[in-house]
Amino acid sequence: MINPKPKEVVPAAHDRVYRALRSRIMYGDIAPGQALTLRGIGREFGVSMTPARESVRRLVAEGALILSTSGRVSTPELSNERIEELAVLRSLLEVELASRALPRAHIALIERLQMINASVSEAVQNRDGVGYIRTNLEFHRTLYLRAQAPAILAMAETVWLQLGPTMRALYGRLRRTEAPHFHKLIIAALKAGDEPGLRLAVRSDVTQGLRLLTS
Amino acid sequence: MINPKPKEVVPAAHDRVYRALRSRIMYGDIAPGQALTLRGIGREFGVSMTPARESVRRLVAEGALILSTSGRVSTPELSNERIEELAVLRSLLEVELASRALPRAHIALIERLQMINASVSEAVQNRDGVGYIRTNLEFHRTLYLRAQAPAILAMAETVWLQLGPTMRALYGRLRRTEAPHFHKLIIAALKAGDEPGLRLAVRSDVTQGLRLLTS
DNA sequence: CTAGGCGACTTGTGATCACAAAGGTGATAT
DNA sequence: ATATCACCTTTGTGATCACAAGTCGCCTAG
């Protein structure tokens, strides 16, 4: 057989719904406190309540959605204390990931990061909040993939997911015209093979944005 | 009304099943690679497939169970690389939690930790693997609850959950008669208010056990 | 005009069913 | 004796339904 298996030709409905909702939440398409209904999700994706419920359960388990006592589901409205915790988590996890990626960061990776960073700048100039969040996370994910640490990366993505709706609320009222400064520091540290500098740059980049949220 | 609401008199079936399975997995009642079936779970708990599926989905999202490509569900058999990652995660998260708990650790907490530690020793002497895992985690959780950082604690518990079946495999073949040494160091550092010592003791305690797994 | 209550509608939960795919088992051919 | 194939059982998936609890709006009484 030349082509033995197209491998998962048709993804399961619950998985498709899960991925779509996850993207929306992580990239700030949904505002904090927004309510969702199982029947509404099912209607939108052309499936019954069953896959809708499964995808919602999964997202609740990841902290992307919260369940009220009566089972109603909505995006979370994070308290300042919770935001501070999530910022610390981002810092802990992403500094570790960056540190592990450093010895594996070849020139091709650095060039790719610079290209992504240009997209970030573009999104900032266009006042495109969702685009900013998406490209910013792509910048970080591209670097961290080199760490070859899927468990840690998955945990970092879970934190991003929890912050998604809140980040939208932030960057919606953020008026900034410059590209992210710390991204340049990260790239410079990567080029120089400067591990302490990289750790500091990542910590700063991760902390900076979230600090505005708790004001 | 004197007693307005007994508050959630009857927990939802899926939640009850979830909690039961989660306990089993976290405390090492289930061996790595053990297969589960939705109908089997439903039969055991006297519910239909629906709540069984929801609880399983939730546990899969937390990394406590894995889904084969065909949807079959089982406990994970962790690779050495994955175990090393999870050990690093434990170290990162729990050092932070301990550090935050330190300024809040009064004498009553320390005494409670000593009592729990006695139970740990007892479980070790009785060759009670599950009891050891349970009391050991209770020791850590009791300390970390003082950190007042629910998001970080939840993430740490997720890591424990992922390691559950594997820890069982470890402590099953572990032949040790002494109580955990590093727990005493943790308690000593708490008494002395010694933050660097506490961080080191927690990191050592967390790393020590898992190091044996990757041999 | 406002507060309280009643009723209709919305929503989540859990059970059941039909279906397709995967796994296992036994028979058969070489 | 072993490899292969067919059949049957097991299993997950998704749709539908009945039911209970919650939510919202409207109406009425004060």
Q: If interface means Cβ-Cβ distance under 8 Å, which residues of chain B face chain A?
A: 8, 12, 50, 53-54, 57-63, 69, 71, 82, 85-86, 88-89, 92-93, 96, 149-152, 154-155, 158, 162
Question: Quick check: A59 and A18 in contact, CB under 8 A?
Answer: yes
Q: Has domain B13-74 been given CATH number 3.65.10.10?
A: no
Same fold, A13-74 and A80-213: no
Q: What pLDDT, on the 0 to 100 scale, is given for residue B1?
A: 37
Q: Is the shortest CB-to-strand distance from B12 to strand C under 7 Å?
A: yes
Tokens 């109908």 identify what position? B39
Chain B residues lying within 8 Å of A11, measured CB to CB: none
Is beta strand B35-36 parallel, antiparallel or unpaired with respect to B66-67? Answer: unpaired
Element (H, E) at B73: strand B73-74
Residues of chain A with pLDDT under 50: 1-8
**A107 token code pair:** 């020139």
**B47 token code pair:** 């519910």
Neighbour order of strands in the sheet with A35-36 = A35-36, A73-74, A66-67
Q: Cβ of B22: how many Cβ atoms within 10 Å?
A: 19
Dist CA A26 CA B94 (whole Å): 26
Q: What pLDDT, on the 0 to 100 scale, is given for residue B213?
A: 63
List, in order, residues 6 or more apart from B173 with CB less than 8 Å away.
none
List, in order, residues 6 or more apart from B129 with CB less than 8 Å away.
B28, B168, B171, B172, B174
- As a whole number of Å, the end-to-end CA separation of chain A is 62
Interface test with B, best of A10, A38, A89, A163 (most B CBs within 10 A): A89
Assigned superfamily of A80-213 = GntR ligand-binding domain-like (1.20.120.530)
- What percent of chain B has pLDDT above 70? 90
Residue whose Cα is closest to the C1' of C20: B70
Positive or negative, the CA dihedral A20, A25, A31, A32 is positive
Q: What are phi and psi of B199, to 5 degrees?
A: -60, -45
Question: Quick check: A35 and A74 in contact, CB under 8 A?
Answer: yes
Report H helices in chain B: 13-26, 38-45, 49-61, 80-101, 107-125, 129-145, 150-173, 181-192, 195-213
Q: Is the shortest CB-to-strand distance from B204 to strand D under 7 Å?
A: no
Dist CA A29 CA A157 (whole Å): 16
Closest nucleotide over all strands to A50 (CA to C1'): D14
Q: Is the shortest CB-to-strand distance from B9 to strand C under 7 Å?
A: no
Closest nucleotide over all strands to A70 (CA to C1'): D22
Q: What is the pLDDT of residues B11-60, one digit of tens each?
A: 888 999 999 999 999 999 999 999 999 999 999 999 999 999 999 999 99
Q: Is residue B75 over pLDDT 60?
A: yes
Question: Quick check: A82 and A148 in contact, CB under 8 A?
Answer: no
Q: What is the pLDDT of residues B143-169, one digit of tens each?
A: 999 999 999 999 999 999 999 999 887
Q: Give the chain A residue nearest B61 (alpha carbons).
A: A58
Locate the domains of chain B by residue range.
13-74, 80-213
Mark yes or no for CB contact A63/B154 under 8 Å.
yes
pTM across the whole model: 0.90
List protein-proximal bases of chain D (any atom < 7 A from a CB). 10-17, 21-23
